[in-house]
Amino acid sequence: MDVSDNKPSKIIALAACAHPDDIEFMMAGTLLLLKKNGAEIHMWNLSSGHCGSNEFDAEKTSRVRWQEAQDSARLAGATIHPPITRDIDILYTKELIAQVSSVIRQVKPTILLVPSPQDYMEDHQTACRLLVTGAFTRNMRNYETDPPAEMYSDPVTIYHAMPHGFRDSMRRLVRAEMYVDICSVLRQKREMLACHKSQKEWLDTSQGIDAYLNLMESFAHTAGTMSGCFTCAEGWRRHAHWGYSSEDFDPLSETLGHLCHIDPNYKQSLG
């Protein structure tokens, strides 16, 4: 499979996660900064989030959460794509791979922001696998997507967000390769997360008023501390380049410049 070495004339960023509100927790700051720096941005939750309520039935919960996701995307100035499955049904199947690949071929992202391959929840980890495979098949002429979408060979770089709480499923700390300074957009990121009112109200009852929003901000400050240079940040790890782009193609740090700090210790560990 050939991967074009030509750098795209326009940066297109697709942030994709398992559930409505996952993007807002760990990715939205970086996405907003990419938008401010001229990128076209897209958001996509693979699942409808139908299990995210003890008050509504599955159908109503799905409708409410889709509306909330659209409200958040509108605040960001992003194009949003509808879910393709339901909670706990995010499985690594040929049917879902074909659907994921179709969306990726239609969006043609230069930057693909995906969940961590290690996280506390299987939905998050499997969403990561589906998206990575979907990007890999973008230039396979004989791979059939659902619905059919034309293949393309432009380069794409995949960046993995930090797992929830910066820990893998075995509670081990996960450090980032690069950190993005999100202080200038933290307020807007909080407003995006607040669009998910059904989740906020649900957790307010059990965890205290605004605990949901405050947890997101605490994650941002933790990442800032881990960066050693920013007050609040989001952390990222870059996926291996084979099949996706040239080794030095790093459109995230190239686009964000001084707002992106690469941890020299992590880079050194790569050899």
Q: Is the pLDDT of residue 206 over 80?
A: no
Q: Which domains does the chain have, with CATH numbers?
A: 12-269 (3.40.50.10320)
Query: Across residues 149-163, what is the average pLDDT?
Result: 97
Amino acid 3: pLDDT: 65
**How far is Cα 209 from Cα 211, in angstroms, rounded to an integer?**
6
Model confidence over 215-238: pLDDT tens digits? 999 999 999 999 999 999 999 999
Q: Is the pLDDT of residue 261 over 70?
A: yes
Query: Across residues 19-44, what is the average pLDDT?
Result: 97
Model confidence over 97-147: pLDDT tens digits? 999 999 999 999 999 999 999 999 999 999 999 999 999 999 999 999 999
Are 176 and 223 contacting, i.e. CB atoms less than 8 angstroms apart?
A: yes
Are 216 and 190 contacting, i.e. CB atoms less than 8 angstroms apart?
A: yes
Q: Identify the residue whose tokens are 């506390």.
A: 120
Which pTM does this prediction carry?
0.94
Residue 8's φ and ψ, nearest 5 degrees, are: -65, 150
Q: Which residue has the higher pLDDT, 192 or 271?
A: 192
| Residue whose C-alpha is closest to residue 245's, from 101, 130, 109 | 109
Amino acid 202: pLDDT: 65
